[in-house]
């Protein structure tokens, strides 16, 4: 069955660029675009896209309520992000596409959105890390000790240990060196940010 994606983004450069990248994946039969937020609701009703990619800056207060209703619906919503946002934004969207994501990364994100569409009612699979656990992995990869991590995240050392246990259980990776490789693969940390011992 043909898939549809709708891109809502004001910047023509970004919008056209993203469309070009998405077209090269051959994943969607219909790649539509919107340059302003006036027609978003109507376009979604008309197109029934599988994925909506939207710049969070385009979401005003009225759209916010509407967007919340879309969560857990049949359409997946991804944010296209190139400015700094509060971490809370991650809770609102099914996926975040960063401006500096590689082609492969964008493809992986869109593929997992398409694949998760049919199982959106199921709880999150057990092996995905929470954003807090990702924070811990990121700091571990940078070479911080449990104590330093607890100070940086304002949590108790005991909580850091609990997070580490859960991370090991979820990923089945026990060593810090192994977690570093995992963190790079999943872009939790960039190679340049690694603490070079």
Candidates 26-34, 43-51, 115-123, 183-191 — which segment interacts with another protein by CB under 8 A? 183-191
Q: How far is CA 62 from CA 59, 66, 133, in A?
A: 8, 7, 33
The answer for residues whose C-beta is within 8 angstroms of residue 22's C-beta and 6 or more apart is 5, 7, 28, 31, 106, 110
Residue 176: both structure tokens together: 């810090």
124 binds another protein (CB under 8 A): no
Q: Name the minimum Å distance from CB 72 to another protein.
A: 27
- From the list 79-87, 142-150, 155-163, 167-175, the region that binds another protein by CB under 8 A is 167-175
Quick count: other Cβ atoms within 10 Å of Cβ 120? 14
Using CB under 8 A, which residues numbered 83 to 122 contact another protein?
104, 108
Q: Does 178 bind another protein (CB under 8 A)?
A: yes
DSSP secondary structure, 141-189, as one string = HTT--HHHHHHHHT--HHHHHHHHHHHHHHH---SHHHHHHHHHHTTSS
Q: How many residues bind another protein (CB under 8 A)?
A: 19
Contact stretch for another protein (CB under 8 A) within 69-77, 145-153, 155-163, 179-187: 179-187
Of 13-42, binders to another protein (CB under 8 A) are none
Site for another protein (CB under 8 A): which residue of 123, 191, 193, 195? 191
Are 149 and 136 within 8 A, CB to CB? yes
| Interface positions with another protein (CB under 8 A) | 104, 108, 127, 171-175, 177-178, 180-182, 184-186, 190-191, 194
């Amino acid at each position: 069955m043909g898939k549809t994606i709708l891109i809502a983004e004001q910047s023509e450069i970004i919008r056209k660029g993203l469309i070009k990248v998405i077209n090269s994946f051959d994943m969607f039969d219909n790649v539509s675009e919107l340059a302003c937020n006036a027609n978003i609701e109507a376009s979604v009703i008309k197109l029934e896209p599988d994925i909506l990619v939207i710049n969070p800056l385009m979401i005003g207060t009225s759209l916010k309520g509407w967007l919340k209703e879309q969560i857990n619906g049949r359409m997946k919503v991804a944010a296209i992000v190139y400015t700094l946002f509060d971490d809370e934004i991650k809770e609102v969207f099914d996926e975040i596409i960063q401006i500096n994501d590689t082609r492969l990364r964008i493809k992986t994100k869109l593929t997992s959105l398409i694949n998760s569409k049919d199982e959106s009612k199921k709880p999150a699979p057990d092996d995905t890390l929470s954003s807090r656990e990702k924070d811990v992995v990121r700091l571990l990869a940078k070479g911080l000790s449990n104590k330093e991590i607890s100070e940086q995240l304002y949590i108790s050392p005991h909580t850091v240990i609990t997070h580490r246990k859960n991370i090991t259980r979820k990923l089945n990776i026990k060593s810090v060196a192994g977690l570093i490789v995992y963190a790079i693969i999943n872009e939790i940390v960039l190679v340049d940010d690694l603490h070079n011992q």
